[in-house]
Amino acid sequence: MAFVEQHIHDAPTSFWSKYICSYDHKVIGKQFLWFGIFFLLVGGLMAVMIRWTLAFPGQPFPVIGQLMFPHTGGVVPPDTYAMLFTMHGTIMIFYAITPILIGAFGNFCIPLMIGARDMIFPTLNMLSFWFNMASGILLLGSLCLPLGAAAGGWTSYPTLSTTLGQQGLGQTMWTIALFLLGVSSTMGAVNYITTIITLRAPGMGYFKMPLTVWGLWLTSILNAIFIPVLGAGLLLLTCDRIFGTTFFLAGAAATSGKGDPILFQHVFWIFGHPEVYILILPAWGIVSDLLSFFARKPAFGYKMTALSLSAITVLSTVVYGHHMYTTQMSPLLTQSFMTLTMLISIPSAIFFANWLGTLWKGSIRFTSPMLFSLGVVFVFGLGGLTGLYLASTSIDLYLHDTYFVVGHFHYTMAASVLLGGFAGIYFWMPKMFGRSMNECLAKIHFWTTMIPLNGIFTGMMIMGYAGMHRRLYNPFIYDFMHKLMPMNTFVTWCAIAMGLAQSFFLYNFFKTIFFSKNKPLASANPWEVGTLEWEIPSPAPHYNFKEIPVVKCGPHEFGNPNLKTGRDFQYQTEELVEVK
Amino acid sequence: MNIDRSQEMKFIQSSVAMTVTLCSFAMLFATMFLGYFLVRSSVSVWPPVEIQGMPQGLPFLSTLAIVLSSVSYYFFEHKTGGKKVNFVLTIVLGISFLISQWLLWAALKESGILVSDGMVPSMVYAFTWLHAAHIAAAVFLLLWLGFYVFVRTEKLSPLKVINVGKFWHFLGVVWILMYLLIFVL
C-alpha cells in the first residue's frame, strides 16, 4: 500500500488543548493510563474487602469499615458483598485492564512503533477517551444509589440482573455504562485497525511490525467484531429492565409470556470468551518483544509467534460454549466446544515455546521490564495449563463456579495482564514521561507483587478443588468448608501484602513524573533496542518523527557479530547486516 | 463519482475504516438475528399466538420506502443530472420509513400485541426499535450531508457522500432481511 505522510500539526499551547481535549495520541494514551490506574486502585480495594469478608467473616473491615458500613458496625453486609464482587470484576476488566493495556499502550505505542505521526482519526481517538470517561463516571455514580450498584456478578446473568434479581437503578446504570464503554472501544478499534493498515512507515511490512503492534492489532479486530455482540445483549437487558420486554424472564420469574435466561449467556460468552484474548493479546505482544529486547537475541520464531497469535484470535471466536457446559447443552456440542478449546493449546504452546526459545542462551538483562515479562511467562504457564482442566467437560462439571475457576481466570486475565502492563509501564516510561523509574524500587515492586500473587491464585485453585463455591458470602456456614479457613486466611494476607506492594509502584510512578524535574531527561534509547520509537528523543515530541522513517529490518535484530557500530542491536531504519 | 488521484489514499483509508465500522454494526444486528433464530426455533407453531394478527401492510410500506431511498441515493451518488432532487428524495423517504415504523408500533399495540407479551413480541419490538434508532441517526447524517450539498458546496467531498451512502445502504439491507424473516417467512 502506498504511503501517505501525515502533516505535522502545531504543538498545543493551552492547558485545555494539551491535557484535556488533546488530539495527540500520546496524551490520550496517558489519559487512559491515569484512568486505568485510578480504577485499578478502586478495584483493588474492593478485592481486599472481598478477601477480608471471606477470611474474617463477621469482623469489621479495618480503618474505613466503620465509615462505609456504619449500620453493621463496619462489617461488609451480604448485599454489599455481592455488589463488591460484581463491581470488582467489572472495574478490573473493563475499567482498569482495558484502558491500560489497550487504551494506553495502544494509543501510545501504535503510531510510534509503526512510524506514524498520529492515529489516523485523532478526533475519534479523543472521543473514544471521553466516552470511556463518561462510562466510568456513570459506573462510579451507581455506587452512590440508594439501592446500591449492580450486584449480579460481572457476567450479569439474568435473572439476577433483571428487575426481579435487583431493583433500583444500579444494574441499569451498569448496563448503560458498559454500552457506552463498548462504543468507546469500538471507536478505538476502528482507529487502531485503520492506522495499522494504512499508516505503517515505508518498508514496514506486517512481518516487520513489533509483536506489540501485532497483539494490539489482533485485539482491535476482536474488539470491533465482538463488542457489538455484548452491546446487543446489553440493549436487550436494558429493554427488559426499562421497557418491559421479556427476553430473559422464564418460569415463575415471568409475569407474562416466556423468555430465556440462557439466551443472555450465549450472547455474553460469544463476546466474553474473545474478551479474554482481547485483554491478553496486547500483554502477549508486549512480552514477546521485551523477552527478545532483554535477552539480546532475535525473537525466536517471530513469524510463527505472530501467526500463532492470529490463530488464537480466530480460534477464540468459536470456543465460547465451554463457559456453558452446565446449561444442559447437547453432549455433541460440549464435545465440539471441548475439542475446539483444546485446539487453542496448540498455537499457545507454539508461542510459549518461542518465548522459551528466545530466552535460551540469551545474554539476559534482568531489568524491571524483563522481570515482569518473565513473571508473565510463569503465571501464564500456570493459567494456561489450568485452563485445560476447565476445557474438559467432565472435569468442568465438578469445578464449575468454584474458586478453581476464579484462580484460573485470575492467573490468565489478571496476573498475566497486570504483570504485562507493569512491564510496559516500566519499559515505555522514559518515552512517555521523559524519565525512567527507579530500578531498585521497580524490582522490589516485582518481587513483592509476584510472591503474594502466586499465594493468592494458587490458594484459590486449591480451595476451588476442595469445593469452595465462588460467590458465597460466608462459606463457613458449611461444615465441610471449615478446614479451608486457614487457606482462606492465607490468601487474604497475600492479597493484603500484594495490595500494599503497589505502594512501591505508586511512589515510584508519582515521584518520577512529578518530583524528578531536577533530574536530567532520559536518553533517546536507554534500553538499547531498535524499534522506531527509540530513535526519537525522550519524551517523544508531539509530532513523533520529523522525517518519516524508512524501515529496512525487523524489530529484533540483536547479537549480530558482524555489526561494526559498537552496538549489539540494529535500528529498524538500518540496512540489515548479514550474518555470515 | 470522480475521485482525483490526490484523494485516492484518503479513499482507501476511509474505505478500511468504514468497512470495520460496518462490520461492527453488522455484528450488532447479527446478534439480534441470532436471538431471533433462537426464539423462533423454540416455538412449535409459527406465527405463535402472541403475534397473530400482526399488520402486514405497514412493514411492506417501510420496505418500499427504504428500497426507493437506497435507489435514489444511488442516483445521487452516480448520476450527474438531478442530483439534488435524488438527495432530497432520499431524506423524504427515510423520514417516511420512520413514520411507517411509528405507525407499525401503534398498529401492533392496537392489535393487542404488547411488548411484554412474551419473547416473540419483545423481539419484534426491540429489533424494530434498534433498527429505527439507526435509521434516525442515518437521517441526521443525511441532514448533515445536506448542509454540504446545498450550503457549503465547495466542501462537499466524495468521501462524505460515499460513506454516508454505505451506511444508508447497509441499513436498507438489514431491513430487507428483517422484513423477510419477521414479517414474510
Chain B residues with beta carbon closer than 8 angstroms to that of A121 = 17
| Nearest neighbour of A256 by CB, restricted to B10, B116, B126 | B116
Report pLDDT for B80: 63
Chain A residues with beta carbon closer than 8 angstroms to that of B119 = 246-247, 257-260
Chain B residues with beta carbon closer than 8 angstroms to that of A244 = 115-116
| Residue B72 belongs to some domain of the structure | yes
Q: How many CA atoms lie within 13 A of B74 on its CB side?
A: 9
What is the chain B residue with the closest CA to A3?
B9
The size of the A-B interface in CB pairs under 8 A is 115
Report pLDDT for A4: 67
Phi, psi of A402 (to 5 degrees): -100, 175
Count of H helices and E strands in chain B? 5, 0
Interchain contact, B28 vs A121, CB within 8 Å = no
In this model, does residue B4 exceed pLDDT 70? no
Q: How many CA atoms lie within 13 A of A97 on its CB side?
A: 28
Kindly give, in sequence order, each residue whose CB lies less than 8 Å from that of residue A510, ignoring residues fewer than 6 positions away.
none
CA–CA gap between residue A390 and residue A398 (Å, rounded): 9
Partner A contacted by B25 (CB < 8 A): yes
Q: Where are the domains of chain A?
A: 24-535
| Residue B145 belongs to some domain of the structure | yes
Kindly give, in sequence order, each residue whose CB lies less than 8 Å from that of residue B147, ignoring residues fewer than 6 positions away.
none
Interchain contact, B23 vs A225, CB within 8 Å = yes
In this model, does residue B2 exceed pLDDT 50? no
Cα B2–chain centre separation: 26
SS (H, E, C) A517-563: CCCCCCCCCCCCCCCHHHHCCCCCCCCCCCCCCCCCCCCCCECCCCC
| Residue B113 belongs to some domain of the structure | yes
Q: In this structure, which amino acid lies at residue A301?
A: G
Whether A133 and A35 have beta carbons less than 8 Å apart is answered as: yes
| Residue B3 belongs to some domain of the structure | no
| Residue B67 belongs to some domain of the structure | yes
Among the listed residues A126, A191, A125, A223, the one whose alpha carbon sits nearest the alpha carbon of residue B24: A223
DSSP, res A575: P
Q: Which helix (H) or strand (E) holds A262?
A: helix A261-295
| Residue B11 belongs to some domain of the structure | no
Report pLDDT for A257: 60
Report pLDDT for A117: 92
Task: Note the ipTM here.
Answer: 0.89
pLDDT band at B1 (very low <50, low <70, confident <90, very high): very low
Chain A nearest-CA distance from B86, in A, is 30
What is the chain A residue with the closest CA to B130?
A235
Chain A nearest-CA distance from B89, in A, is 31
| Look-up of cell digits 561494526 | A564
Using DSSP, state whether A469 is helix, strand or coil. Answer: strand
Chain B residues with beta carbon closer than 8 angstroms to that of A1 = 12
pLDDT band at B41 (very low <50, low <70, confident <90, very high): confident
| Look-up of cell digits 504511503 | A3
Task: Report in angstroms the alpha-carbon separations of A517 from A437, A524, A542.
Answer: 13, 17, 19
Report pLDDT for A78: 92
CATH number at residue B145: 1.20.120.80
Chain A nearest-CA distance from B80, in A, is 30
Interchain contact, A4 vs B32, CB within 8 Å = no
Phi, psi of A558 (to 5 degrees): -125, 155
Interchain contact, A193 vs B16, CB within 8 Å = yes
**Domain count of the fold of chain B:** 1
What is the widest separation between alpha-carbon atoms in chain B? Answer: 59
CATH T-level topology, domain A24-535: Cytochrome C Oxidase; Chain A (1.20.210)
Cα torsion angle, B74, B78, B84, B86, sign? negative
DSSP, res B31: H
Report pLDDT for B12: 87
Chain B residues with beta carbon closer than 8 angstroms to that of A243 = 115, 125-126
Interchain contact, B117 vs A1, CB within 8 Å = no
CA–CA gap between residue A135 and residue A184 (Å, rounded): 9
Cis peptide before A489 (omega within 30 of 0): no
| Residue B85 belongs to some domain of the structure | yes
Which residue ranges in chain A fall short of pLDDT 70?
1-4, 251-257, 580
* Mutation site for B-interface testing, chosen from A194, A256, A263, A330 by largest number of B Cβ within 10 Å: A194
Task: Report in angstroms the alpha-carbon separations of A159 from A176, B31, B136, B162.
Answer: 17, 20, 32, 44
pLDDT digits (tens, 9 = 90+) for A69-125: 999 999 999 999 999 999 999 999 999 999 999 999 999 999 999 999 999 999 999
Interchain contact, A197 vs B16, CB within 8 Å = yes
Whether A397 and A328 have beta carbons less than 8 Å apart is answered as: no
- For B92, the domain range is 55-184
Whether A49 and A127 have beta carbons less than 8 Å apart is answered as: no
- Residues A522, A526, A531, A535, Cα dihedral to 10°: 50
Chain A residues with beta carbon closer than 8 angstroms to that of B30 = 229
Chain B residues with beta carbon closer than 8 angstroms to that of A224 = 20, 23-24
- Considering only CB atoms, which residues of chain A are within 8 Å of chain B? 1-2, 4, 120-121, 186, 189-191, 193-194, 197-198, 224-229, 231-233, 235-236, 239-240, 243-247, 255-260, 263, 266-267, 270
Partner A contacted by B41 (CB < 8 A): no
What is the chain B residue with the closest CA to A268?
B31
Report pLDDT for A256: 59
Q: What is the pTM of this model?
A: 0.93
Using DSSP, state whether A569 is helix, strand or coil. Answer: strand
A156: left (phi over 0), alpha (psi -120 to 50) or beta: left
Partner A contacted by B109 (CB < 8 A): no
Cα B47–chain centre separation: 24
| Residue B149 belongs to some domain of the structure | yes
Kindly give, in sequence order, each residue whose CB lies less than 8 Å from that of residue A89, ignoring residues fewer than 6 positions away.
A153, A154
Interchain contact, B9 vs A194, CB within 8 Å = no
* Mutation site for A-interface testing, chosen from B12, B31, B39, B127 by largest number of A Cβ within 10 Å: B31
Cα A511–chain centre separation: 25
CA–CA gap between residue A540 and residue A293 (Å, rounded): 20
Report pLDDT for B116: 81
Task: Report in angstroms the alpha-carbon separations of A234 from A1, A186, A231, B21.
Answer: 38, 15, 5, 19
Interchain contact, A260 vs B32, CB within 8 Å = no
Interchain contact, A190 vs B9, CB within 8 Å = no
